[in-house]
Amino acid sequence: MATNNRSSRIAHCHLQGQSLDPYQLLKAKSERLSWNRLSDVEIYVDKQAVIDWFSMLRDYSEATVKAIVVEGILDSQFHKITFILTLVQSADFEAVTSKDAYQQLYDFVCRTPAGVQDWIDDVDFQMSRDVLALLSRNR
């Protein structure tokens, strides 16, 4: 039953009464970023890569998934140490050491699909990876 609950959490999350479909979230972000409406998320984002990327978060709560993907990745908050410290103090990370939590976040950021990385400022993305690399001792 726990496995079924986990898979349904990623496939069909509820945030403030609204369904969260990871691919639709990225599609909407792509459309908002398009200046000329010629952007087609099917061309720029590999749907299987996005699904595989989100599957890394299947054991996390909806709030943590939102914080990691929307705030951390898309809104480039991972280069802010206070954001990371607040995130790793959540209930989802209480069973792991802080170094392991930083490592999990670092792995997720490093595996961000290329199509998603294109939406993020390169400097912000690199700073996010660098901060998480230092915290997880990957440098």
What is the reported pTM?
0.70
pLDDT tens per residue across span 95-138: 999 899 999 999 999 999 888 888 788 898 999 999 999 998 87
> With 80 as the cut, is the pLDDT of residue 69 above it?
yes
Closest CA to 109 of 124, 91, 92: 124
> With 60 as the cut, is the pLDDT of residue 36 above it?
no
User: Could you tell me the residue ranges of all domains in the chain?
Assistant: 2-12+22-136
Residues in contact with 95: Cβ distance below 8 Å, sequence separation at least 6, in sequence order: none
CB 77 within 8 A of CB 35: no
pLDDT tens per residue across span 77-106: 998 999 999 999 999 999 999 899 999 999
Position 62, amino acid: E
CB 34 within 8 A of CB 40: no
